[in-house]
Amino acid sequence: MKLNKEQTTKRILDLAGDQIRQATKLPTETIIFPRWSEIGLLGEVLCMRVKTKEQPAGCDYDEDKFQVVIRIIGGKVHMTGGYPDAYAWKQSKVEPYLEDSKAIRFIGTNSAEAVLNLSAILNTIDDNDERLLFADMFCSIRKDLLLVSTKAEERRCIEVSRSLYDAGVVACVDAWMQEDEFGMADSTQLNVGDFLIIEGSDVYCIRHDEFIQTHKIHG
């Protein structure tokens, strides 16, 4: 459903003004993937499952603009439906890591460092079939991949409480959604317990389970 982005965001901030809280996005490790053609047949399967913030339904992203990543949160690879929980970063987010040689580590099967890093991560996957799939994926890749750490980041957030939901905070227009000539953009339906991250004069939604894995609320 399309909503007016400016009006929707202003209403949310007005209603939730006294419920804004400080939070820290926790450091995470992230595996940065190459183009799927470099991974082989398994890459064709996995690429259909990748989501971007701009395309949350998945299956529709430009490899010239995005690179696929898999996050390691709390030392664990998160699996969804038997596959690694992958999504995409814009190239502009990847490039600083490529330029910082001290930040670059490797994961894969083509060097001692990469094998050690892969072994450590495989041990975080509890299900044996999922662990085998993840290992097989790396055996199919013809080069080691980048493994980078993202720093902690301070943020402001709003939890969608029952009272806010009942007051009408049932949808938002995420910060990255493009508006048409009338200021309308596709909206995200909210659930009680979801979180909204405030980014300048915009907001965007992070679902409850992902938020509690990746953030720490202060106070």
Distances (CA, A) of 133 to 49, 128, 185, 196: 15, 9, 38, 34
Q: Clarify whether residues 56 and 136 are in a common domain.
A: yes
The span from the CA of 77 to the CA of 13, in Å, is 34
The span from the CA of 103 to the CA of 197, in Å, is 27
Q: Clarify whether residues 126 and 172 are in a common domain.
A: no
Total domain count, the chain: 2
- Single out the residue in 115, 150, 185 at which a domain terminates: 150
Q: Clarify whether residues 75 and 161 are in a common domain.
A: no
Beta-carbon contacts of residue 207 (< 8 Å; ≥ 6 apart): 191, 194, 195
Res. 49 pLDDT band, cuts 50 70 90: low
pTM of the model: 0.76
Q: What does the radius of gyration of the chain's CA atoms come to, in whole angstroms?
A: 19
Q: Do residues 169 and 46 lie in contact, with contact meaning Cβ atoms separated by under 8 Å? A: no
What's the confidence (pLDDT) of residue 84?
74
What's the confidence (pLDDT) of residue 135?
86
Nearest to residue 146, comparing CAs of 200, 110, 197, 192?
Answer: 110
b vs e for 11-26, b when ≥16 Cβ sit within 10 Å of the residue's Cβ? bbbeebeeeeeebebe
- Single out the residue in 100, 129, 150 at which a domain terminates: 150
Give the tens place of pLDDT for each residue, 158-210: 999 999 999 999 999 999 888 999 999 999 999 999 999 999 999 999 999 88
- Single out the residue in 122, 150, 178 at which a domain terminates: 150
What's the confidence (pLDDT) of residue 48?
66
The H-assigned helical ranges of the chain are 5-15, 41-47, 91-99, 112-122, 128-140, 162-166, 208-214
The span from the CA of 118 to the CA of 175, in Å, is 35
Bridge partners for 70 per DSSP: 31, 86
Residue 67 pLDDT exceeds 90: no
The span from the CA of 69 to the CA of 84, in Å, is 10
Q: Clarify whether residues 172 and 135 are in a common domain.
A: no
Q: Clarify whether residues 110 and 199 are in a common domain.
A: no
Residue 46 pLDDT exceeds 70: no
Q: Clarify whether residues 72 and 142 are in a common domain.
A: yes
Q: Clarify whether residues 12 and 60 are in a common domain.
A: no
What's the confidence (pLDDT) of residue 30?
87
Do strands 171-172 and 188-189 pair parallel, antiparallel, or not at all (unpaired)?
antiparallel
Q: Clarify whether residues 129 and 42 are in a common domain.
A: yes
Q: Clarify whether residues 68 and 124 are in a common domain.
A: yes
Q: What would the two tokens of residue 138 be?
A: 């790396």
Q: Clarify whether residues 146 and 86 are in a common domain.
A: yes
Q: Clarify whether residues 98 and 46 are in a common domain.
A: yes
Q: By residue range, what is the domain housing residue 183?
A: 2-25+155-217
Q: Clarify whether residues 73 and 37 are in a common domain.
A: yes
Give the tens place of pLDDT for each residue, 115-155: 999 999 898 888 888 888 888 878 877 788 889 888 889 99
Beta-carbon contacts of residue 167 (< 8 Å; ≥ 6 apart): 15
